[in-house]
Structure 1
Amino acid sequence: MTDRPQGFDTLAIHAGTAPDPATGARQVPIYQTTAYVFKDADHAARLFNLEEVGYIYSRLTNPTVAALANRVAALEGGAGAIACSSGHAAQIMALFPLMGPGKNIVASSRLYGGTITQFSQTIKRFGWSAKFVDTDDLKAVEAAIDDNTRALFCETIANPGGYISDIPALARIADLKGIPLIVDNTTATPWLARPIEMGATLVVHSATKYLTGNGTVTGGIVVDSGKFNWSASDKFPSLSQPEPAYHGLVFHPTLGSMAYTFHSIAIGLRDLGMTMNPQGAHYTLMGIETLGLRMERHVKNAQIVAEWLEQDPRVEAVTYAGLKSSPWHRRAEALLPKGAGALFTFALKGGYDACVKLIDNVKLFSHVANLGDTRSLIIHSASTTHRQLSPEQQVAAGAPPNVVRLSIGIEDVADIIADLDQAMAKATA
């Protein structure tokens, strides 16, 4: 091999892994073990002092899980990554080294309903808070950031409406304010977008979705760009000052670009325990091997289905950014040149009742609270994933009562359309 950068599909198969040195096994083994034998007392001490990279206890690190983290870091262009037990765990893990009582984040109002609830309600129990703003209003974003703000948060392609965030513009604001931009790249995947190249500091994923791609794993990933200067101010003492939770180690000056990743392992996973299991990591590694192939079909099918829906007289509106009629079409072309993803909503004439009838009459589509599966999925967000939000929050998030969310799979697109057609006929009869 030469030193030329490897392509996406090559990285998706090879990054972060090598044949097992003990057996020569080509596929990453499932290291189903809790603990690892130290060579001697000095070896153990070096590991605990972070002077040597190795394995101590599988709540912290595990070879199978580490292979997954390294592969996603390579695909995203990051310095390091950690794998967690779920996408929601990844969000808390992403914030954990940054936050403290009385600190806040500024977040897009167009987010997955569970994320809005996590940020608006659950993180209050840690003494943290969130301010939600329309991230298209850059002046409002800048105005919302105050001295206690520790991060700016958005989704590349917002769930459920398919809205495209202006990541470069948000990154410029975050840089100006001296805080990291955290981007949830779940619905785009690194095949469509690499937020770090657009200026993001951290990228989070629900590995449950497209990375695994087959609905078998619950998992999350946090990728660190390794580019943020955590010592530029006193805003991030866990990284820039002696950390009392790890015998006074000063992570950033000591560990440089890997400071955030090692802090998340040594303290975050150690104390919060949001660890991914090795079998789940193995399944996700296998799923990532075909990520590029799947995403190409997902996007191609979604474009065809969205164009068909837009022309159907039974449909009021379609939110897919791949349509020229979308207010985010130009942004999608600029930031996601391979396509606008495979997640979007459409409004059906007849409102809430028609949406419920549509859900009850699909046959090929699966009615589940998931997305990013090889199968086409459908859900009525207002009564399920976004049910806990107020009507105003539902509208702001792109989940009003008269829309359904589609996650377009990789089946034959004619079959996808035929199923929607027959279900819409019954729903609007």
Structure 2
Amino acid sequence: MAELRFDTRKIKAGYSPADNNQAISPPIYQTAAYDFRDTEHAQNLFTYKEAGYLYTRVGNPTVNYFTERVKALDGAKNGLAVGSGMAAITYTLLNLASKGGTILASPYLYGGTIDAFDRLFPELGIKIKLTDAVLDPEKLEKELTDDVKAVYVESISNPNAYLLDIDSISDAAHKHGVPVVVDNTLATPYLYRPFEHGADIVVYSATKALTGHGNLIAGLILDNGDMSLYTKERYPQFYEPIVMLKGKAPADIFADNFFIFRATLVYLNLLGAALSPQDAYLGIIGIETLSERVAKQSANAAKIAAYLESLPAVEWVRHPSLKSYKFRELAEKHLTNGGGGVLSFGIKGTPEQEAAFLNNIKLFHYHVNLGDARSLIVDSPNTTHSELNEEEFVLADIPKNLIRISAGLEDADDLIADLEQAFSAAGLL
């Protein structure tokens, strides 16, 4: 059979009814642990001579079906589902820099990520350097010293919808033996597939557009299966014996999967941010409508962006669909399925008028999630990115008047009418 296309994979990939009593929908394996057939089976599982399930914290069939489906959509070779997007980010970077070192990071990131970079990672001996050199590969190369363990970026950034040139970033990083980690949360594999642009690792907050209904918290770590970049000199942790492996190293056990294997064995196992089987099941169901949801969200966001750009009450608008978009050339080349559901704009008014505008919204939900079937609105500098200091606000290009919209699946004209009445109520029209 020929390779299945995207919309078939989102329904079929990673699951076989024949392995599950012919159940069409993947069962929820609601169990904490799994019986061993005998002592030999137990020993084989604990020494990784045989694949199987031990304990749901580190492996569960429903969670595995969820992981396999996303792997198929992204073109990943290996994957791990965890309890949240922040767990995915944290486990990935700890795995890469467990011996210390520097992570070069885009400043155009989710506020919670920057907060972790400011507060958590330095406590663990990992230096995070936010750098706008991700916009200039030649400048980036100069920052890729021997101490750098990864370059970390978002494909489409939150909240500004910046679109980075992952191809150029990857080319620069690989010249210096450094992997590129891409948070693909806003784009999803429907709009953008980072592995096709040179990325080595992809992370998701699956809470957002990937599953799309605002009813679960989940994260994913995926890799491209190429372990050659992780040299013993720069990444000794993959080649050092671990007690649980009876004197063997992760690279000794799984030569083509030691990145995910170590993340599972050390971080998921010992820190324990496990994804529940119920949430994995909700994720599987959500993915089945990924294309339809994100296509309409992109179209709604484009229509809203065009409306906002026409208003005297709006200072600026950022969305890949606009001719004024800073990365228009990249968007036309890479975002052929749409620009995504997230846009931001600058309201031209006083802080009191901004508050009145938000307080008079009727159809949009005022909260901090993204990618929901419902349309969402929030003042990012005061909420999702309130952790940033003044220097970080400037570096991230987040003005104090920024409003972020995550377009949902409602009628775009109804959403525009809601915005219009809120502008009027705030005295901005």
TM-score by length of 1: 0.96
Moved more, 194-203 or 39-48: 39-48
Partner of 1:71: 69
Structure 1 position 351, deviation (Å): 4.4
**Counterpart Cα distance in 2 of 1:103 and 1:42:** 41
Partner Cα separation in structure 2 for residue 203 and residue 389 of structure 1 = 24
**Residue pairs, 1:250-399, within 5 angstroms:** 250-399=249-398
Alpha-carbon spacing, 1:253–1:173, altered in 2? closer, same or farther (3 Å): farther
- Distance of aligned partners of 1:256 and 1:269 in 2 relative to their CA distance in 1, 3 Å threshold: same
Question: 1:237-260: per-residue Cα shift (whole Å, max 9, x none)?
Answer: 222343455333232354232222
The answer to whether the 8 Å contact 2:369/2:376 transfers is yes
Structure 2: any 5+ residue segments left out of the alignment? none
| Residues 68-105 of structure 1 deviation map (CA, whole Å, 9 limit, x = unaligned) | 11111111100111111110000011123211243120
Q: Which residue of 1 aligns with 2:416?
A: 417
> In the superposition, relative to structure 1, how do residues 197 and 227 fare at CA in structure 2: closer, same or farther (>3 Å)?
same
The residue type paired with residue 146 of structure 2 is: D
Partner of 1:124 in structure 2?
122
Q: Distance in 2 between matches of 1:65 and 1:333?
A: 35
Equivalent residue, structure 2, for 1:94? 92
- Counterpart CA distance in 2 for 1:37 and 1:244 is 24
Shift of residue 10, structure 1, vs aligned partner:
0.8
Deviation string for 1:362-383 (max 9, x for gaps)?
A: 0000001111001110000111
Note the C-alpha offset of 1:338: 1.3
Inter-partner Cα distance in structure 1 for 2:197 and 2:166 = 6
Q: Is the 8 A contact 1:349 1:428 kept in 2?
A: no
How big is the shift at 1:22? 4.7
Q: RMSD between aligned alpha carbons?
A: 1.5
Q: Determine helix, strand or coil for the equivalent of 1:392.
A: helix
Structure 1, unaligned runs of 5 or more? none
1:230–1:240 Cα contact (<8 Å) kept: no
Secondary structure of 1:211's counterpart equals coil
Contact 1:351 1:401 in 2 (8 A): no
> For residues 154 and 237 of structure 2, what CA distance do their matches in structure 1 show?
26
Contact 2:227–2:258 (8 Å) recurs in 1: no
d(CA) in 2 for partners of 1:305, 1:260: 42
Could you say if the C-alpha distance between residues 300 and 43 of structure 1 is closer, same or farther in structure 2, counting changes exceeding 3 Å? same
Give me the whole-angstrom Cα distance separating, in 1, the residues matched to 2:7 and 2:242: 39
Q: Is contact 1:112-1:397 (8 Å) kept?
A: no
CA distance in 2, matches of 1:329, 1:62: 42
Q: Is residue 20–residue 27 contact of structure 2 (8 Å, CA) maintained in 1?
A: no
Give the deviation of 1:352 after TM superposition.
Answer: 3.1
Take 2:265 and 2:386, find their aligned partners in 1: how far apart are those partners? Answer: 37
In structure 1, the residue corresponding to 2:8 is in which secondary structure?
A: helix
Query: What do residues 24-62 of structure 1 show as CA deviations (whole Å, max 9, x unaligned)?
Result: 211111111010011111111111111211101111000
Within 2, Cα distance between the matches of 1:149 and 1:381? 30
Once residues 237 and 204 of structure 1 are traced to their aligned partners in structure 2, the CA distance between those partners, rounded to angstroms, is 23
Q: Is the 8 A contact 1:11 1:71 kept in 2?
A: yes
Q: Structure 1: which 4+ aligned runs deviate by more than 4 Å? A: none
Find the counterpart in structure 2 of residue 13 from structure 1. Answer: 11
Equivalent pairs: percent with the same residue? 39
TM-score between both structures, scaled by the size of structure 2: 0.96
- SS of the counterpart of 1:26? coil
The farther-off stretch of 81-90 and 394-403 is: 394-403
| Corresponding residue pairs, total | 427
Is the partner of 2:153 in helix, strand or coil? strand
Task: Say if 2:104 is the partner of 1:109.
Answer: no
AA aligned opposite 1:373: D
SS in 1 for 2:79: strand
The answer to whether the 8 Å contact 1:351/1:403 transfers is no
2:96 counterpart SS class: coil
Tell me if the contact between 2:48 and 2:253 (Cα under 8 Å) persists in the aligned partners.
no
Tell me which residue corresponds to 1:234: 233
User: Residue 218 of structure 2 aligns with which residue?
Assistant: 219
**Aligned-residue offset at 1:229:** 1.0
Contact kept? 2:316, 2:345, Cα under 8 Å: yes
Instruction: Give the Å deviation of 1:398.
Output: 3.6
**Are the aligned partners of 1:234 and 1:240 in contact in 2 as well (CA < 8 Å)?**
no
Compared with structure 1, are the counterparts of its residues 248 and 238 closer, same or farther at alpha carbon in structure 2 (3 Å cutoff)? farther
Summarize the Cα distance change of 1:374–1:117 in structure 2 as closer, same or farther, 3 Å threshold: same
Give secondary structure in 2 for the equivalent of 1:256.
coil
Label 1:231 to 1:408 Cα distance change in 2 as closer, same or farther (>3 A): closer
What is the alpha-carbon distance in structure 2 between the residues aligned to residue 137 and residue 361 of structure 1?
Answer: 41
Partner of 1:34: 32
Is contact 2:160–2:318 with CA below 8 Å preserved after alignment?
Answer: yes
